[in-house]
Amino acid sequence: MKQLLLGNEAVARGLYEAGVRVVSSYPGTPSTEITEAAAKFPELACEWAPNEKVAAEAAAGAAVGGARSFCAMKHVGLNVAADPVFTMSYIGVNGGMVLAVADDPGMHSSQNEQDSRNYAKAAKLPMLEPADSQECKEFAKLGYALSEEFDTPVLLRLTTRVSHARSVVECGERQEIPLKEYKKDPAKNVMLPAFARPKHEKVEARTQALAEWAERCEINRIENNGAKIGIICAGAVYQYAREAMGDSANYLKLGMVYPLPQKLLRDFAAQCETLYVAEELDDFIESHCKALGLEVVGKELFPRCGELSQRLIKKLLTGEEAPSAALEGPLPVRPPVMCCGCPHRGLFYALKQEKVYVSGDIGCYTLGASAPLSAMDACICMGASVSALHGYNKARGEGAAKKAVAVIGDSTFIHSGITSLIDIAYNRTNSTVIILDNSITGMTGHQQNPSTGFNIYNEPAQAVDLEALCCAVGIRRVRVVDPYDLKLTRQVLKEELEAKEPSVIISRRPCALLKTVKHSAPLEVSGEKCIGCKACMGIGCPAISMRDGKALIDPTQCVGCGVCTALCGKGAIA
**CATH code for the domain in which residue 271 is found:** 3.40.50.920
Q: What CATH code is carried by the domain that includes residue 185?
A: 3.40.50.970
DSSP 338: P
In a domain, residue 335? The reply is no
Same-domain status, 265 and 178: no
In a domain, residue 333? The reply is no
In a domain, residue 397? The reply is yes
pLDDT at 323 over 90: no
What's the pLDDT score for residue 115? 97
> How do residues 162-197 score in pLDDT, each as one tens digit?
999 999 999 999 999 999 999 999 999 999 999 999
In a domain, residue 349? The reply is yes
Share of the chain above pLDDT 70, in %: 100
What's the pLDDT score for residue 336? 84
Last residue of a domain, one of 199, 216, 233: 216
> How do residues 297-309 score in pLDDT, each as one tens digit?
999 999 999 999 9
Same-domain status, 171 and 69: yes
Domain that holds residue 189: 2-216
Of 329, 333, 337, 302, nearest to 317 (Cα)? 302
The SS3 call for residue 127 is strand
DSSP 445: T
For residues 155 and 139, is the Cβ–Cβ distance under 8 A?
A: no
Same-domain status, 149 and 7: yes
In a domain, residue 185? The reply is yes
> How do residues 443-485 score in pLDDT, each as one tens digit?
899 999 999 999 999 999 999 999 999 999 999 999 999 999 9
Same-domain status, 188 and 229: no
Same-domain status, 37 and 142: yes
pLDDT at 148 over 90: yes
The residues facing 553 across adjacent strands are 544
What's the pLDDT score for residue 332? 80
pTM metric for this prediction: 0.94
Question: Residue 353: CB partners within 8 Å, gap ≥ 6?
Answer: 490
Res. 333 pLDDT band, cuts 50 70 90: confident
Res. 19 pLDDT band, cuts 50 70 90: very high
In a domain, residue 330? The reply is no
Same-domain status, 490 and 547: no
Same-domain status, 449 and 486: yes
Residue type, 226: G
Q: Distance between CA atoms of 271 and 227, rounded to whole angstroms?
A: 9
Same-domain status, 160 and 39: yes
Same-domain status, 192 and 304: no
pLDDT at 78 over 80: yes
pLDDT at 328 over 80: no
Q: Average pLDDT in the 214-219 region? A: 97
Q: Distance between CA atoms of 397 and 192, rounded to whole angstroms?
A: 43
Q: Average pLDDT in the 262-269 region? A: 97
Q: Average pLDDT in the 302-322 region? A: 93
In a domain, residue 338? The reply is no
Last residue of a domain, one of 172, 189, 216: 216
Instruction: Give me the chain's average pLDDT, please.
Output: 96
CA angle 78, 84, 86 (to 5 degrees): 80
Count of the separate structural domains present in the chain: 4
Res. 322 pLDDT band, cuts 50 70 90: confident
Last residue of a domain, one of 173, 188, 216: 216
> How do residues 353-398 score in pLDDT, each as one tens digit?
999 999 999 999 999 999 999 999 999 999 999 999 999 999 999 9
> How do residues 403-451 score in pLDDT, each as one tens digit?
999 999 999 999 999 999 999 999 999 999 999 999 999 989 999 999 9
- Residues 477, 482, 483, 488: what is their CA dihedral angle, to the nearest 10 degrees? -70
